[in-house]
Homo-oligomer: A and B are copies of this chain.
Amino acid sequence: MSFREHLQDVCTNVDGAVACSVMGIDGIEIDTLVSEAGDLDLKSLLVEYSNVFRNARDAADVHQAGGISEVSINTDKLVTVARLVSPDYFMVVALKPEGNYGKARYLLRITAPKVRSEL
């Protein structure tokens, strides 16, 4: 499967998903699928969130809290779950607040190794 097919798979199978992306920790997008943008500039937001992911990784690293696996940022408009795919890349799904957060976490967990094998 291509990146795009993995992204499509996650977006299709998570109720409320509006976007899914594979990104570099440095904020450079590999591929992003936006299924329902609404009034948000999701791509720019996800780039901004990559800084947050990197900060969280560095904070955990400094304090020997172990390797980062997942970061979620939830606002009253959007829930995002990001999961590390490799040391340099992560995968993120954005969904509506009423979407299926547990399914998003589950699908990221099982999809990340498949994406990693294609990097």
Binding site for B on A (CB under 8 A): 39-41, 44-45, 48-49, 51-52, 55-56, 59-60, 62-78, 102
**Given the contacts A65-B40, A78-B65, A73 and B60 also touching, CB distance less than 8 Å:** yes
Return the chain B residue nearest A80 by Cβ.
B65
- Shortest CB-to-CB span from A54 to chain B, Å, is 10
> Which chain B residues border A70 with CB–CB below 8 Å?
72-74
Return the chain B residue nearest A75 by Cβ.
B66
Say yes or no: B75 contacts A74, CB within 8 Å.
Answer: no
> Which chain B residues border A48 with CB–CB below 8 Å?
59, 62-63
Bound-complex Cα distance A49 to B72 (A)? 13
